[in-house]
Amino acid sequence: MYHLAWMLLCVAVVLPSRAAAIAETFASAPTQRGWRTFGDALLFQWNATNENLAVTWDSSRSNSLFYRSLGNVLTKEDDFSFGFDLRLNDIAIGVDPDKQYTFQIAIGLCRFTSITNANFFRGASQSPTFGPRNLVEFNYFPAFQEFAPTIAQVIVSTNRQWFYNHDNLREMPPGDLFQVTMEFVQRRLTTTVKRNGQLYGQPQIIDLQSANTDFRVDTFALISYSDAQQSPPQYSGSILAHGVIDNVNLVIPNPPLIALRGANAGNSFRANFAAVTNWLYRLEMTRNFQEWSLVVEGSALTNGPFYLEDASASPDQAFYRVLANRP
């Protein structure tokens, strides 16, 4: 007897459109909807009374995230958007006397396996050892001496190429409500910021249409970065800020594997599903849930119906799974 056990990066339902929407109002505990913490969990506290999330950005701590998986891997070939409300309570830079320059608060998309790597440091620039990769991110840098306050957006590719727009030289005063929307459409990232309901500065644009590099992001996160390993070190900064996040909204492409079902036919087993081009699919089998073996893998030439088949399945009981991966 053959069973379809479980899937990675997929859902087994048919979604009605080409895009999936995620809306988070924090009206109830977000951990019930897949939100998790990495690093210092004390930096992120759900407020049941105010129905929002209290966030501390403390660069003296290790890299810490409050995050939710997208259930997908996005690249520059995808269209997607995300937005959120942000209200700062207080913000201070140079809290470390040895790192007196400015540092950023951050919210955005990342690749979970990249950002949780022990050698990932946001301030390390293009360092081949410590430099960050795979980011589509909103940042705010408070003013420092001759440096103006900066509302910024940045994309960091898989091979650590940086694309950024730092043209919105405006403060984000504590107490004001900021609504941020970031839309990536046809390889262009546009960031729009409103302050207390009014447009705040001009939209910022990063254009990757001619870029010869790409990114991979699979997670939305509120990020408190460590200020370690900054480059160059003589301009190192530090930050301590408190604020609240609310009304997170994401619109992303459907997962790469939907309408999954298994079918037995004599001595064969077939997994049928709707596939997406540019994804690699693997059918794996186990009998003990400890060791999985590859049966067959393949990529769809077009979006739509696809199957992977074990044409010589054993008559003994077996369990199968389908994994989707974006090369």
In tens, the pLDDT along 29-51 reads: 999 999 999 999 999 999 999 99
Percent of the chain whose predicted confidence (pLDDT) is above 90: 77
For 170-212, how does the pLDDT look when each residue is reduced to its tens digit (9 = 90+)?
Answer: 999 999 999 999 999 999 999 999 999 999 999 999 999 999 9
Greatest alpha-carbon span in the chain:
75
CB 132 within 8 A of CB 120: yes
Q: How many angstroms separate the CA atoms of 176 and 49, rounded?
A: 20
Q: How far is CA 58 from CA 125, 130, 225, in A?
A: 19, 19, 7
pLDDT at site 17: 45
Cis peptide before 232 (omega within 30 of 0): yes
For 84-103, how does the pLDDT look when each residue is reduced to its tens digit (9 = 90+)?
Answer: 999 999 999 999 999 999 99
Q: How many angstroms separate the CA atoms of 145 and 138, rounded?
A: 22
DSSP helix, strand, coil percent of the chain (3-state; round to 5): 5, 55, 40
* Tokens read off for 51: 């129905």
Q: Of 152-166, 295-309, 310-324, where does the model show the most confidence?
A: 152-166
The helix (run of H) or strand (run of E) holding residue 115 is helix 112-115
pLDDT at site 257: 79
pLDDT at site 16: 36
CB 167 within 8 A of CB 204: yes
Query: Which residue type is seen at 19?
Result: A
Interior angle at CA 262, CA 296 and CA 286, nearest 5? 55
- Give the confidence band of 315 by pLDDT, cuts at 50, 70, 90: low
Nearest to 111 by CA among 120, 123, 101: 120
pLDDT at site 8: 36
In whole numbers, what is the pLDDT of the chain averaged over residues?
91
**Residues contacting residue 282 through CB under 8 Å, at least 6 positions apart:** 294, 296, 297, 308, 322, 323, 325
Q: Which residues pair with 156 in a beta bridge?
A: 135, 162
The mean per-residue pLDDT over the stretch 292-314 comes to 88
CA 162 to chain centre: 17
